Amino acid sequence: MQFIIVGIGGQGILFASRVLGHVALSKGLHVNGSEVHGMSQRGGSVISHFKIGSYASPLVRAKEADILLAFEQGEGLRNFHFLKKGGTALVNTDRPEAFSDPDLVAFLRAREVRLYPVEGTRLLREKMGGRFLFLNALILGALAASGASGFEAVDLKKAVAELAPARFREENLKAFELGFEALPERS
142: CATH: 3.40.920.10
Note whether residue 110 is domain-resident.
yes
Pairing of strands 83-92, 65-70: parallel
pLDDT of amino acid 44: 81
pLDDT of amino acid 187: 46
- Map residue 102 onto helix, strand or coil: helix
State mean pLDDT over 154-160: 98
Domain that holds residue 129: 2-182
Q: Which residues of 140-154 are buried (b: 16+ CB within 10 A; e: fewer)?
A: bbbbbbbebbebebe
Q: What is the pTM assigned to this prediction?
A: 0.94
User: For the segment 109-152, what is each residue's pLDDT rounded down to a tens digit?
Assistant: 999 999 999 999 999 999 999 999 999 999 999 999 999 999 99
Contacts of 88 (CB under 8 A, 6+ apart): 66, 67, 68, 113, 114, 115, 116, 146, 148
pLDDT of amino acid 121: 96
Note whether residue 93 is domain-resident.
yes
Domain count, the chain: 1
Note whether residue 83 is domain-resident.
yes
Q: What phi and psi values does residue 24 have, to the nearest 5 degrees?
A: -60, -45
Note whether residue 153 is domain-resident.
yes
| Position with higher pLDDT, 99 vs 187 | 99
Does 32 have pLDDT greater than 50?
A: yes
What is the total residue count of the chain?
Answer: 187
Note whether residue 187 is domain-resident.
no
8-state DSSP, 149: T
Contacts of 51 (CB under 8 A, 6+ apart): 1, 2, 3, 31, 32, 33, 58, 60
